[in-house]
Amino acid sequence: MKKFINDPKQFVPEMLHGLALANPDTLRYVPEYNLIHRADAPNDNKVTIIQGSGSGHEPAHVMTVGRGMLDAACPGDVFAAPPMDYIYETTKLMSSPKGVLLLVNNYTGDRMAFDMAQELSEADGVKVRTLFIDDDVSVQDSTYTVGRRGVAGNFFVMKAVGAASENGADLDELMRIGEKVNSVTRTMGLALTACTPPSKGSPLFELGEDEIEVGVGIHGEPGRRRDKWAPANELVEELLEAVVSDLPFASGDRVALMINGLGGTPISELYLLYGIAHDKLTERGITVGRNYVGEYCTSLDMAGASLTLVKLDDEIEALLAAPAEIAIRVF
Amino acid sequence: MKKFINDPKQFVPEMLHGLALANPDTLRYVPEYNLIHRADAPNDNKVTIIQGSGSGHEPAHVMTVGRGMLDAACPGDVFAAPPMDYIYETTKLMSSPKGVLLLVNNYTGDRMAFDMAQELSEADGVKVRTLFIDDDVSVQDSTYTVGRRGVAGNFFVMKAVGAASENGADLDELMRIGEKVNSVTRTMGLALTACTPPSKGSPLFELGEDEIEVGVGIHGEPGRRRDKWAPANELVEELLEAVVSDLPFASGDRVALMINGLGGTPISELYLLYGIAHDKLTERGITVGRNYVGEYCTSLDMAGASLTLVKLDDEIEALLAAPAEIAIRVF
C-alpha cells in the first residue's frame, strides 16, 4: 500500500488535525470524539445540523462543516460507523434549544448507532430528530443496508437544510425540507478501480484490467453487475437511464446535475462526463438548472464517478443557491 | 487503460465542452483554438492575462479562468505545448489596448511556441509580454527544460497578477508583481504512482509496489531519485527541507503553504500532509499565513502531492486574499 499515511490507526485523527489547522478561524476539533464543529456552534438561535458517517468519503462530511452547511461532523474510522458514544457526546455538546438534526446515510451500522444516540440524548432532554438519506438507485437492499444506500446525493440534503437553518427554520421545517430533497434526489455510480482502506492495506475487491463495477457502493459494495469497460458515452447513458427512469424525471423537468468523483479520478474526466450528461439531458427535454462537478462524496482512492439528479422547484433551487462557506476552497 | 473517455484524440475538446456547458454565464469556448475565455474578455480597461500549457494538469489552467484570475487559457493536447498558431490567434482575439500578459511554465516546448506567438502578435501591433514560472526546486535542468520547471506554484503567480489586473495595474506593474511572486515561490513534489496519458494508454513510467519518485515532474519526469515508500512524516520532512533550504525560508518568515494533489490522491491524505507540514513549519519558527489544500496543478491520475511555500509580504498577501471567481467550486 502506497499512501500518504503514518500509522493507519491515526489516519482519521491526523487528517482531522490537518483540517482544523487549515481552518483556524472557522473550525474546531475535539479529538476525544473525532468531532469537527463550527467555531460558532452551538448557536442558540438555530437548529444544530450534524452529519455522521464512516470516514473515507471526504470531503463528506468533515470538510462540509461551515456556515450554510453542517454545524458539526461526527466521523467514524474509515468505512466504519461512528461509535454510539461519540454521537451521543457530540449531540449533547452541540445541542441547541431549537434542537438538533442528525443527518445519516442509510447504512445499518450507522442507523443503529444514531438511533441509540438519539434515544440517550432525548433521555437527557435534548430535542433531536434524525433524517435518513437513501438516494442510490443501483440496488434495493445491499451489503450494509436494508433499503437503498445513501451516497453523493446527501450533499443536496445537507445544503438545503443548512441554508434553511441559517434562515431560522425550526426542526419540523428542516425535516420537511430534508425529506423533500431526499425524495427527489437519485444517484448511481460506477467504479473503474477498487479502493484501499489504510488498515487493510490492499484493495477491498478485485477488478480486472478491463472491468468496471456498475452501480458500485461508496464502500466498494457490489452494484448491479460487473462488466467490461466501455467508452464514456455509453457509461453515462447507463447511469443517466438508471437515474432518470427511477424517479422518473421527465421532459420539462428542471434539475441539478452532479458529476461526483470517487477519489482517484481527475477533474478533467469529470468535466468530460459532465458535458456528455448535460447534452443527453438536453436531448430528453430536461433542463440543467444547476451543476456540480468535482468530489463531494468519495471512496478513498477509488477511480470512478457517480451521477446525481435532483428535481428542482423554486424552494429547492433557492436553498441550493444560498451562500455557504466550508473548508473546501481554492482561494 | 480504464478512463472516462471516448476517443483519446477528443479528450481535450470533450473536457472543454463540458467545462463550458457547466459555466454558461462566465466562460466561452472557441473549439478552433482550444480556447477557454471569460465571457467578458477581452476588456479594454484591463490587461488580458492568458496562461497556456499542455493539458492534463487540470484545474490548471482552463478551470482557473475567471474574475480575479486568468482572462483566458490556451491549452495544448495532453502534456503537449499548445500549437504556436493557437497561441497567436488567442492573443489576437483576446488583445486589449492595455496589453496582454502571457504566463508560461518553464518548459522548452512551451517557451518556443510562446516566443514565436509573441513575435507574430507584436508584428500585428499587439502589446504583449511573457512571464516564465520556474518554482520547482527538485532539479536544475530536466527532461523538458533548461533551468527549473514550473509546477503548482504557478497558481500564486496567476492569483497575484489576476488580482492586480482587476485593480487596473498596467503591463509593467503586472510583470513586476509576477516576477516578484515567482521569485519567492518554491515547490517540490513526489509520486506514489505513475500517470497514464489517454493517447498512450499505459503508464508513462514504472514504479515498483513500494517505490516512490522524489521530486517528480508534472509530466512524470524523473526527480532527484527513486526511493522506497516511507511514512508521511518522513516524506513531508524531505519535501519541506528541500523547499525551505532553497530560498531559503527562515524563522520569522510568514508564508503561504500549499499541499497540492497530483490527481489520484484523495483529499483526506492531502489534509493529513497539511497537518504535518504546518506543525513542522511552526517548529521552525515559520508562520503559515495562508493555506491551500487540494488540487491546483495535477498530472492526470498520478497519486502524489507537492508542497509549495510562498514568502509573504503585505503586498503579496493582499493580492492572494483578493476575491476571485473561477469554475472550480462546490456550491
Asked whether residue B3 is domain-assigned, the answer is no
B237 and B312 assigned to the same domain: yes
Q: Does B268 touch chain A (CB under 8 A)?
A: yes
pLDDT attached to residue A15: 98
pLDDT attached to residue A155: 97
Model confidence pLDDT, tens digit, residues A72-125? 999 999 999 999 999 999 999 999 999 999 999 999 999 999 999 999 999 999
A170 and A211 assigned to the same domain: no
B192 and B151 assigned to the same domain: no
Least Cα distance to A195 among B158, B245, B303, B18 occurs for B303
Model confidence pLDDT, tens digit, residues A152-185? 999 999 999 999 999 999 999 999 999 999 999 9
Q: Is A175 in a helix, a strand, or coil?
A: helix
Q: How far is B231 from chain A (nearest CA, A)?
A: 5
Q: Is the separation of the CB atoms in B89 and B33 below 8 Å?
A: yes
B18 and B166 assigned to the same domain: yes
Peptide bond preceding B61: is omega within 30 degrees of 0, i.e. cis? yes
Q: How many CB atoms lie within 10 A of CB B112?
A: 12
> Of B126, B159, B183, which closes a domain?
B183
A206 and A263 assigned to the same domain: yes
Asked whether residue B2 is domain-assigned, the answer is no
Model confidence pLDDT, tens digit, residues B256-265? 999 999 999 9
Which residues constitute the domain of residue B293? 185-317
- Domain CATH number, residue B222: 3.30.1180.20
> Across the interface, do A18 and B273 touch by the CB < 8 Å criterion?
yes
Least Cα distance to A239 among A223, A251, A253, A255 occurs for A223
pLDDT attached to residue B142: 85
> Of A183, A211, A237, which closes a domain?
A183
> Across the interface, do B18 and A275 touch by the CB < 8 Å criterion?
yes
Mean pLDDT of all residues in A236-246? 98
pLDDT attached to residue B331: 59
Least Cα distance to B14 among B26, B24, B5, B27 occurs for B5
Q: Which of A16, A18, A232 sits opposite B6 (nearest CB)?
A: A232
When mean pLDDT is compared across A142-151, B41-50, B77-86, the lowest value belongs to A142-151
Q: Does B76 touch chain A (CB under 8 A)?
A: no
Burial code (b: 16+ CB inside 10 Å, e: under 16) for A26-41 equals bbbbbeebbbbbbeeb
- Domain CATH number, residue B75: 3.40.50.10440
Q: Which of A22, A231, A275 sits opposite B274 (nearest CB)?
A: A22
Q: Does A71 touch chain B (CB under 8 A)?
A: no
> Across the interface, do A14 and B59 touch by the CB < 8 Å criterion?
no
Q: Does A6 touch chain B (CB under 8 A)?
A: yes
B172 and B195 assigned to the same domain: no
Q: Is the pLDDT of residue A329 over 80?
A: no
Q: Is the pLDDT of residue A331 over 80?
A: no
For residue B303, give the chain A residue with the closest CA. A264
Structural domain count of chain A: 2
Q: Is the separation of the CB atoms in A197 and A203 below 8 Å?
A: no
Compute CA distances B59 → B64, B103, B117, B160, B305, whole Å.
Answer: 6, 15, 24, 17, 15
Q: Which of B1, B2, B4 to mutate to test the interface with A (most CBs of A within 10 A)?
A: B4
Q: Is the pLDDT of residue A24 over 80?
A: yes
B166 and B248 assigned to the same domain: no
B219 and B128 assigned to the same domain: no
Mean pLDDT of all residues in A294-310? 97
pLDDT attached to residue A101: 98
pLDDT attached to residue B143: 86
The catalytically annotated residue of B17, B37, B219, B278 is B219
Compute CA distances B170 → B120, B128, B166, B175, whole Å.
Answer: 22, 12, 10, 9
pLDDT attached to residue B330: 62
- When pLDDT is cut at 50, 70 and 90, the band that residue A327 belongs to is confident
The stretches of A247-328 forming alpha helices (DSSP H) are 267-283, 314-321
Asked whether residue B325 is domain-assigned, the answer is no
> Of A161, A183, A205, which closes a domain?
A183
Mean per-residue pLDDT over chain A, rounded: 96
pLDDT above 90 coverage of chain A, percent:
95
> Across the interface, do B21 and A324 touch by the CB < 8 Å criterion?
no
pLDDT attached to residue A179: 98
pLDDT attached to residue B1: 86
Q: Which of B18, B263, B326 sits opposite A271 (nearest CB)?
A: B18
Q: Does B282 touch chain A (CB under 8 A)?
A: no
pLDDT attached to residue A288: 98
Q: Is the pLDDT of residue B188 over 80?
A: yes
C-alpha cell at B250: 527562515
Mean per-residue pLDDT over chain B, rounded: 96
- When pLDDT is cut at 50, 70 and 90, the band that residue A66 belongs to is very high
pLDDT attached to residue B327: 82
Asked whether residue A266 is domain-assigned, the answer is yes
A80 and A169 assigned to the same domain: yes
Active site residue A278: no
For residue B263, give the chain A residue with the closest CA. A266
CB-count burial class (<10 Å; 0-12, 13-18, 19+) for A179: middle
Compute CA distances B264 → A51, A229, B58, B305, whole Å.
Answer: 26, 19, 12, 9
Model confidence pLDDT, tens digit, residues B158-181? 999 999 999 999 999 999 999 999
Cα three-residue angle A308-B266-B288, rounded to 5 degrees? 120
B127 and B204 assigned to the same domain: no
Asked whether residue A326 is domain-assigned, the answer is no
Phi, psi of A308 (to 5 degrees): -120, 140
Asked whether residue B329 is domain-assigned, the answer is no
Q: Does B278 touch chain A (CB under 8 A)?
A: yes
The pTM of this model reads 0.97
Asked whether residue A154 is domain-assigned, the answer is yes
Q: Which of A207, A271, A290, A306 to mutate to test the interface with B (most CBs of B within 10 A)?
A: A271
Model confidence pLDDT, tens digit, residues B23-40? 999 999 999 999 999 999
pLDDT attached to residue A157: 98
Asked whether residue A141 is domain-assigned, the answer is yes
Q: Does B13 touch chain A (CB under 8 A)?
A: no
Active site residue B219: yes
Q: Which of A4, A11, A255 to mutate to test the interface with B (most CBs of B within 10 A)?
A: A4
pLDDT attached to residue A330: 62
Contacts of A15 in chain B (CB under 8 A): 268-269, 271-272, 275
Q: Is the separation of the CB atoms in A127 and A171 below 8 Å?
A: yes
Residue for cell digits 437503498?
A148
pLDDT attached to residue B310: 98
Q: Is A233 in a helix, a strand, or coil?
A: helix
Q: Does A54 touch chain B (CB under 8 A)?
A: no
B60 and B162 assigned to the same domain: yes
**Count of A–B CB contacts within 8 Å?**
193
For residue B17, give the chain A residue with the closest CA. A275
A219 and A168 assigned to the same domain: no
